Amino acid sequence: MSVKTHTIDATGKSLGRLASEISRLLIGKHKVTYAMHLDDGDAVTVENVEKIKITGKKLQQKTYKHHTRYLGHLKTVRMDALFAKDPKQVLIKAVYSMLPETKHRRALMARLRFE
């Protein structure tokens, strides 16, 4: 089980296409030895995250929701505010939602790094 590190330059790439490419590499679907029950993916390093291309009206219309588990504490953040604050979080949320909901999900996300 050899873990290889892939470096991806995010300049000018669409958010969804980039996230699906990263999730494919993290899961290990590009390998011949792929098995869905094994955590056999590679590490991914992403460069120039702040230069991602976000198409359409997603910056103004897409919202991220988080509940604090207290009554009435539903927190919503628009994508443009989150992207201005930390562009890495937008990509992290996109990749996280594309990974399978299994026990390996956190280990897969731990191999995602930024420069």
Residue 88, SS3 per DSSP: helix
Task: Place 86 in a pLDDT band, splitting at 50, 70 and 90.
Answer: very high
Answer whether residue 66 is part of any domain: no
User: pLDDT tens digits, residue range 28-69?
Assistant: 999 999 998 988 899 999 999 999 999 999 999 999 999 999
46 DSSP β-pair partners: 8, 114
Average pLDDT, the chain: 95
Q: Which of 2, 48, 50, 41 is nearest to 22 (CA)?
A: 41
Enclosing domain of residue 38: 5-55+87-110
Task: Place 2 in a pLDDT band, splitting at 50, 70 and 90.
Answer: confident
The predicted model scores a pTM of 0.91
Q: Give the Cβ contact number of residue 23 at 10 Å.
A: 22
Answer whether residue 44 is part of any domain: yes
Question: What average pLDDT score do residues 91-114 get?
Answer: 95
Answer whether residue 47 is part of any domain: yes
Instruction: Please tell me the total count of domains within the chain.
Output: 1
Q: Is 37 left (phi over 0), alpha (psi -120 to 50) or beta?
A: alpha
> What torsion, rounded to 10 degrees, do the Cα atoms 78, 83, 89, 95 define?
80
Answer whether residue 81 is part of any domain: no
